[in-house]
Amino acid sequence: MVLRIIRLLLIIYVIVPFSITSGQNPARISGKLKGEGIAGIALSMTNPLVMASAPVSANTAADGAFYFDLQVKELTLFKLAITADNYIFVFVRPEDQIGLELNRERLGKHPVVEGSQDTRVLYEMAEKSATYERKMDSLTRLYTASQGRQDFAEVLPVIEQEYNKLEQGRREELRNLLLANAGSAAALLLIEKLDITADFDVYDSVASAASRNNPSFKPAADLKQKVALERKLAVGNPAPEISLPGPDGGEITLSSLRGKVVLIDFWASWCGPCRRENPEVVRIYNRFRDKGFEVFGVSLDRDRDAWLNAIAKDGLVWTQVSDLKYWQSQAALLYGVKSIPHTVLIDQEGKIIMRRLRGKALERKLEEIFGN
């Protein structure tokens, strides 16, 4: 369940030293495992937001009891784990005295938490969201099992309707939970389960409240920056200028295409989904190019030859640029690109029409602009 919660976080390596600094009391996490085989279980405590040294470890007593003393100077997120996929996140503040009662088989399943409001709120919100997700998973399995049935055509609309109803309920439940707990650090771990474009108001509320309550907590600062970028790239705002080298090395600017409707297409030769989608982009480009449509390809490649070979092989005849800096591409950072393919559609004046349009959705939008 909680594996889905933490898409925000990357690789986990670090730990705060298992020591006490003179003059300041350590925070203590005292816990007890429930279930079978709870004696002598090896536990590790790491900080998933910092890459550094090995984790601190402790073993459970015969009755499943354990504790960690942690010296923290500010709000810190810890990952308490038995294995890589059996863990619980714990928010710890200076001198906290936190009590945990955990299920040995799944540490994150219905934990009993005392002394850490943020941790308790995190798992209460996660469980309410997971209630919908479990039902949606059941419908997905039903869909798969029904594909071979003779009445599949009749069953499919019923499954889709119920799935969409659950998804709408999940989203509304999560929106309400996050708005009600916007100032909690827990909201920072769950906010990514919503789409920032569709639920910008929730993102904005959480970013403001969480950064105000936890100004030195990195996820709060990161979310505040993300919201600021999203506001900058809102529909109707001018698209930030891009000026990068083309295939021949000469500088090409996005503004040089002013007067046309332009699709900024972030892609790369190494990106499988991008390459599979390129024929569709070619088809749409050929359909609308004579009406004033242009594509501005921005590659996140590192290898110049691979980039140029992909352009030739896929028949990408439109404008192409790249600084060959991979994810550190100047344009990717400017537009907050975290995954590709990624698109931004801008109008003749260089203002943003819509983002993340692809395939049929892009074609329908162009039909709306240019007519059928």
**Domain check: are 75 and 155 in the same one?**
no
Query: Do 71 and 131 share a domain, yes or no?
Result: no
- Buried b / exposed e across 131-156, counting CB within 10 Å, b at 16+? ebbebbeebeeeeeeeeeeeeeeebe
Read off the CATH number of the domain in which 279 is found: 3.40.30.10
Q: Tell me which of 10 and 99 has the higher pLDDT.
A: 99
Q: What pLDDT shows up at residue 239?
A: 97
Within a domain: 237 = no
Q: Which residue has the higher pLDDT, 23 or 359?
A: 359
Domain span at 151:
121-232
- Characterize the bridge pairing of strands 56-59 and 42-46: antiparallel
Asked whether the predicted pLDDT for residue 262 surpasses 90, the reply is yes
Indicate whether 46 and 106 sit together in one domain.
yes
> Given a cut of 90, is residue 43 above it in pLDDT?
yes
- Structure confidence at residue 213 (pLDDT): 93
Q: Is residue 225 part of a domain?
A: yes
Residue 53 confidence (pLDDT): 55
Task: pLDDT band for 147, please (50, 70, 90 cuts).
Answer: confident
Same structural domain for residues 320 and 296? yes
Does residue 275 form part of some domain?
Answer: yes
Categorize the per-residue pLDDT at 227 as very low, low, confident or very high, splitting at 50, 70 and 90: very high
* Residues 131-158, mean pLDDT to the nearest whole number: 89
Mean per-residue pLDDT over the chain, rounded = 90
pLDDT at 90 over 80: yes
Q: Are residues 89 and 174 in the same domain?
A: no
Are 111 and 125 part of one and the same domain?
Answer: no
When pLDDT is averaged across residues 248-275 and rounded to a whole number, the result is: 97
| Whether 288 and 204 share a structural domain | no
Within a domain: residue 350? yes
End-to-end CA distance of the chain: 46
The length of the chain is 372
Q: Which of 87, 109, 104 is nearest to 34 (CA)?
A: 104
Are residues 352 and 337 both part of a single domain? yes
Same domain, 206 and 323: no
pLDDT in tens, 173-197: 999 999 999 999 999 999 999 999 8
- Looking at this protein, which amino acid is placed at residue 219? P
164 & 275 share domain: no
Domain boundary among 67, 88, 115: 115
Q: Is residue 238 part of a domain?
A: no
**Contact of 92 with 70, CB cutoff 8 Å:** yes
Same domain, 301 and 221: no
d(CA 72, CA 302): 40
Beta carbons within 10 angstroms of residue 275's beta carbon? 16
**High-pLDDT (> 70) share of the chain, %:** 93
Q: Which of 197, 232, 267 is the last residue of a domain?
A: 232
Once rounded to an integer, what is the mean pLDDT over residues 246-265?
97
Same domain for 150 and 218? yes
Tally of domains within the chain: 3
* Domain-located, residue 88: yes
pLDDT over 70 at 17, yes or no: no
pLDDT for res 50: 80
Q: What is the pLDDT of residues 114-134, one digit of tens each?
A: 999 999 999 999 999 989 999
In a domain, 69, yes or no: yes
The reported pLDDT for the residue numbered 21 is 38
Binned at pLDDT 50, 70 and 90, residue 52 comes out as: low
Final residue before a domain boundary, out of 232, 258, 277 = 232
CATH of the domain at 17: 2.60.40.1120
**Per-residue confidence (pLDDT) for residue 265, from 0 to 100:** 98
Residue 94 in this model has a pLDDT that exceeds 90:
yes
Asked whether residue 165 is domain-assigned, the answer is: yes
Q: What is the pLDDT of residue 360?
A: 93
Report the pLDDT value the prediction gives residue 148, as an integer from 0 to 100. 81
